[in-house]
Amino acid sequence: MHLFDKFASDTTPSIESALYYAMSGAIGGRSQVGRAVINYTEFDYILKGDGSTIWSIEREGSATDQGADLGLALATICTAANMPNGGKVLIDYDGTLQVTSSQLIDSVNNLHIVGTPNLTVQASGFSSGTVWDCIKFNNCDDAIIEGFTIDGNRSSYIWTIPVTDDAGNCLHFDSCERYMIRDMYLKAGLFHGFFGSGQTISGTLMYTKMTGNGYRGCHIHGGAVFSIDGFRTLFNEVWANGQYISAGLSTGLFMAFDNAYDAIIMGNHIHDETGAGMELSGLLSSTVSAQKVSVIGNTLDGNAYGIRCLLTMIDMVVSGNTIRGCTNWAMELNTVQNTSITDNIIADNADWGIYCNNSIQKHINMSGNILKRNQGGAMRLRGEHFSVCNNQLADNTVSGGGAKDQISCNTLLKANIKNNNISDDNWANTLRAIYVAGSCKDVHVVDNMCGNTGPTADIRFDNGAVGCLNMNNRYTTLVDNTVTAPALVTVNDVASAFN
């Protein structure tokens, strides 16, 4: 059985199975914790380095080629004609190997490339008119690459950043299935650290570091024609990309799941990006969308934005993530449907904690989240069929920057806002605990606790709101640790609007 057969045989691989295979080392043949002693007899080819180049190629222990400068030689030996059944290649070198042209591996299946721990493959002098990816796999199924650094060395390029993704990446997989990228370090690419394109089924990117790249750390893009099914992005560290792009356009992890199904993004640490830490996108279409994407247990800190969910994302799960220190809002929803946002910690961000960018969201569940000290407010809700229950919201105000609502509802239809605990140690900076604008309809505000230390704590329904319900909400106003009279619900000429 091939290494990937068990993992790929699950028609609907669970998050638990992805975690198990990631941690056990069943894919890729070894555990992330410590490299085993190399067994040279396992390899079909061994590329041995001397100085700054590969000087010998051995096959099954016997030298087959020697020379003063053989380059990296991957593109030479990893061909369909030379390896019709695939094989395992070791790059045995302790230092930096410079390559002056792309290493293109085309249509070789069951290929496994391993680098020794201190190996760095570095681009040198790439120029216009060449293929610009440092290493590229094209139409290669069941491929594995692991264990070394690829330095895109963008400062060595003699021209400016390309206008397409298909150029200048440290590592590029195009139209490959069941591949694995593991324990790599992808840095200083002219464009992306890793670029996955074309038809992609059951690809996995894990335990990999991506930093200092010109545009994005990782970019996955199938497009409207190709699908990206079962992609796993697990336990990577991504930081400080976008070196050639203005602030706001760079992204740590960018997943353009235009035509995708069953993706898992789990356990990644994304930090210090001048754009979004993570951007997940489908297409604005009823026929092309991303479905069943799970974003679980990631940590995002110090990015311009946290997690942006854009354009026809359906059946998403966003759970157990921590988002801190964004200079804008932490989580953005834009045209998403059937999405569950649960048990996240969203704190210390400079704008909204959760921000609905338009009113096209449908069937959204938000529960068990903790939102604290988000300066724009906790939640800005727009869309229809929302359930906002059992969340803890505290101190989401702007000190000296004007009063803010903790929960602000605008163009919100058919929503239950229930059993939330809302408090603020500086309530003077909070305009309202819950605000329901006149553009809302059938918004039920029930059994919420509004506690504070300032003079007011209210729930406001504005003129024009229709079919709304205010019931069993509790207000605790504390002054000098003494409970005073509860604040009132503010109703602006909409008494007839309540059921």
Q: What value does the mean pLDDT take over residues 17-42?
A: 52
Q: Mind listing the pLDDT tens digit for each residue in 31-51? A: 333 445 778 889 999 998 766
Tokens 């490299």 sit on residue: 35
Q: Mind listing the pLDDT tens digit for each residue in 170-202? A: 999 999 999 999 999 999 988 899 999 887 778
Question: Which of 318-327, 340-349, 455-464 comes out lowest in average pLDDT?
Answer: 455-464
CA atoms of 220 and 123, how far apart (whole Å): 22
CA atoms of 308 and 344, how far apart (whole Å): 14
The residues, any chain, with a CB within 8 Å of residue 84's CB and separated by 6 or more, are none
CA atoms of 386 and 417, how far apart (whole Å): 8
Residue 315: closest CA among 268, 263, 390, 279 = 263
343 touches 318 (CB < 8 A): no
Q: What value does the mean pLDDT take over residues 377-405?
A: 84
Tokens 């990006």 sit on residue: 273
Q: Which two tokens stand for residue 327?
A: 């200079």
At residue 228, does pLDDT exceed 80?
A: no
Q: Pick the residue with more confidence: 201 or 282?
A: 201
Q: What value does the mean pLDDT take over residues 383-389?
A: 97
Per-residue pLDDT, 172: 95
Alpha carbon 488 to chain centroid distance?
42
Q: What is the 3-state secondary structure (H, E, C) of 372-396?
A: ECCCCCCEEEEEEEEEEECCEEECC
CA atoms of 476 and 498, how far apart (whole Å): 23
CA atoms of 206 and 219, how far apart (whole Å): 14
- The phi and psi torsions of 241 (rounded to 5 degrees) equal -95, -170
Per-residue pLDDT, 457: 56
CA atoms of 232 and 201, how far apart (whole Å): 10
Q: Pick the residue with more confidence: 5 or 131?
A: 131
Residue 54: closest CA among 98, 84, 87, 19 = 98
